Structure 1
Amino acid sequence: MVTLVEQLKDHLNQAIIGQEELTHELLVALIANGHVLLEGPPGIAKTTAAKALANTIDSRFQRIQFTPDLLPGDITGSDIYQQETGQFSFVAGPIMNDIVLADEINRAPAKVQSALLEAMGEKQVTVGNQSYSLPALFFVIATQNPIEQEGTYPLPEAQLDRFMMKINLSYPSASSELEVLRLVRQQDLHKTTTDRPQALCHPEQILALQQQALGLYMSESVEQYIVQLVVATRQPELYLRQQAQDLKLIEFGASPRGTLALDRCARANALLNGRDFVTPDDVRQVALPVLRHRIITSFEAQASGLSTDDLLNRLISHVPAL
């Protein structure tokens, strides 16, 4: 399994130049059996990353472009009347695949977002009175563009909480961008209509990695550290007395779902790092993408110029590992 993990990391890093942190966190979310939300300006490989990950696995991949006129049935599928039989039969929608790219999820209205998020939470879709199970390997990669506000429907905090990780992306370095330029040019020169990337593994192997991550050893002190880190987001004044200056910096902290997500992601991170036990460093390494979308900062914090990541970094530096 360790060899497979290394192969997955190497393949993604070759396909997505200069975004090693992104590829690592995508694999963490996949092995932790959660879904991920990618946020960043256009043109920085969000869609490319999702396709590259799908190409490494011999799985069914589907991209859904979210638009304001999309309907829930366009995602889940619907019952279609068959004139030959005189009965209705279910025609599966694009959600019924192993890996689903929900592109620009914040462009779709609330009902469509809810249909997707229900599938993410329950691993099934309901059409009429009938429920249909989703594949065992069901992994959603959603993207959203933070710089466009017109014609978008921001995800409510309760729905954001359904994503295991939220990954913020920025522009690559100049050297990485030069490497991307040369790589894309070479790919275009040698591209043929029959080109199809060779998959590295099957869905069953990813499911086995997920089970292996759950079986990693985690000491009680690391468990306590995870819980205290989440509790600190609800009571930051216990750890940021001097910084807080009697101001309430966080309106709402992370939910217990955040605790569970932090546990799973820390285990997946340890597995990706080639260890069979979890350390506090594993928790710290995944804390930002796991918790940043689960807390709501106060007006005072925003007025002081403190972002969610700023507050989380301060908490991480002040909460001691037991």
Structure 2
Amino acid sequence: MTASTSTSVPARDAIASAVVGRDRELNLMLAAVAAGRDILLEGPPGTSKSTMLRAITEHWGVPFVLVEGNAELTPARLVGHHNPARVLQEDYSAENFVPGPLVEAMQAGGFLYIEELNRAPEDTLNTLLGAMAERAVTVPRVGTIKAESTFRVLASMNPFDNIGTARISDSVYDRWNRLAVGYQNAAEEADIVEVRTGSDDRTLVDDAVALTRATRVHPELRRGSSVRGAIDLVAIATELAKLDAHQDREHVVLDSALLSLSARIGMDEASESTPEQVITEIWENHFFSSAGGQRRDRTA
């Protein structure tokens, strides 16, 4: 494979055209992967982490191999296994070895991307770290498999979610270049929503983004919604308005917000409110508080 890993300005601009904002993060990511390094992306969901990586691999012309980190991601699932039926007939051989995502990415010179790295078992991470250090893995009865030059190991983790996760050891962190990725600003999130929904109603888009961003700072929530909540809110509100032409705009937004945001927020353990109550409060503050006073005349 002869994929180029250069990061000239034209190449960078071509990749950036597929991403909304993220100039600094994209530059850092391009610099790291062009230098042959692996990256751990740390931040909440819905912050364009995989979008940036897909844009790079598409421009380089290399595979993007996605793996979900969870308790079932064993070393055998990650590296590969021998086909049981063929083993019974032929005994173990290199020919009946079925590559897992790690070997697949190594042989194709692709990017292995592990979502939610901190949900994977420790012994699986140890297998992964060996491949990162040596750019090769040794498979029993197959031999040593070496990676192509464009092979990279990328991973993500959400530092704000501790349910079903494990602490990442210092030895694991020592193998990665860590990039913290936060939420984008309101204007960039609105641009993302417009692109993803195709909506030309900027007022609706701005309302959806404002409500979604408000969930991230509400005192009764330990987790707010990603921009995916705003994307779904706009899509649902657009269709809901067609179904019920008599419902006012503000209540179309409220019903859509309740549907699109309630599963994406996490209540604080000390709160006695429900997700619906918090979303309704955010909606009321947005449309009817003094900050939104320009709307009060319409709905009075």
TM-score (norm 2): 0.58
CA RMSD of aligned residues (A): 2.2
Asked if 1:21 corresponds to 2:33, the answer is no
Asked if 1:133 corresponds to 2:146, the answer is yes
CA distance in 2, matches of 1:15, 1:154: 33
CA distance in 2, matches of 1:157, 1:3: 31
- Return the offset for 1:3: 8.9
Asked if 1:78 corresponds to 2:81, the answer is yes
CA distance in 1, matches of 2:114, 2:62: 17
CA distance in 1, matches of 2:145, 2:5: 34
Whether the 8 Å CA contact 1:18–1:177 is kept in 2: the answer is no
Q: Which deviations, in whole Å up to 9, do the C-alpha atoms of 1:106-135 show, x marking residues without a partner?
A: 101101111111111111112226321122
Whether the 8 Å CA contact 1:102–1:141 is kept in 2: the answer is yes
Max radius of gyration: which structure?
A: 2
CA distance in 1, matches of 2:7, 2:120: 36
Number of aligned pairs?
186
Give the secondary structure class of the aligned counterpart of 1:52.
helix
- Return the offset for 1:2: 11
- Return the offset for 1:79: 2.7
Equivalent residue for 1:216? none
Give the secondary structure class of the aligned counterpart of 1:15.
coil
Whether the 8 Å CA contact 1:104–1:145 is kept in 2: the answer is yes
Alignment of 1:103-252 (within 5 A): 103-128=115-140, 130-163=143-176, 165-186=177-198
TM-score (norm 1): 0.54
Query: Compared with structure 1, are the counterparts of its residues 135 and 2 closer, same or farther at alpha carbon in structure 2 (3 Å cutoff)?
Result: closer
Q: Which has the higher contact order (CA 8 A, sep 6+)?
A: 1
Structure 2: runs of 5 or more not aligned? 200-300
Give the secondary structure class of the aligned counterpart of 1:73.
helix
Q: Which deviations, in whole Å up to 9, do the C-alpha atoms of 1:21-74 show, x marking residues without a partner?
A: 111011111111110000001111112222222111111221011111221011
CA distance in 1, matches of 2:6, 2:119: 39
Specify the code of the residue in structure 2 equivalent to 1:59: V
Asked if 1:66 corresponds to 2:69, the answer is yes
CA distance in 2, matches of 1:86, 1:142: 35
Give the secondary structure class of the aligned counterpart of 2:83.
strand
- Return the offset for 1:8: 2.7
Structure 1: runs of 5 or more not aligned? 188-322
Equivalent residue for 2:45? 42
CA distance in 1, matches of 2:127, 2:9: 35
Question: 1:90 aligned to 81, 91, 97, which one?
Answer: 97
Give the secondary structure class of the aligned counterpart of 1:100.
strand
Q: Which deviations, in whole Å up to 9, do the C-alpha atoms of 1:159-190 show, x marking residues without a partner?
A: 11111x21001111111111112222349xxx
Equivalent residue for 1:258? none
Identity among equivalent pairs (%)? 26
- Return the offset for 1:87: 3.6
CA distance in 2, matches of 1:2, 1:80: 35
CA distance in 2, matches of 1:74, 1:108: 11
Q: Which deviations, in whole Å up to 9, do the C-alpha atoms of 1:181-208 show, x marking residues without a partner?
A: 2222349xxxxxxxxxxxxxxxxxxxxx
Q: Which deviations, in whole Å up to 9, do the C-alpha atoms of 1:85-119 show, x marking residues without a partner?
A: 34433221111211111111110110111111111
CA distance in 2, matches of 1:74, 1:3: 32
Whether the 8 Å CA contact 1:13–1:23 is kept in 2: the answer is yes
Q: Which deviations, in whole Å up to 9, do the C-alpha atoms of 1:283-320 show, x marking residues without a partner?
A: xxxxxxxxxxxxxxxxxxxxxxxxxxxxxxxxxxxxxx
Whether the 8 Å CA contact 1:99–1:140 is kept in 2: the answer is yes
CA distance in 2, matches of 1:105, 1:44: 16
Equivalent residue for 1:33? 36
Query: Compared with structure 1, are the counterparts of its residues 121 and 175 closer, same or farther at alpha carbon in structure 2 (3 Å cutoff)?
Result: same
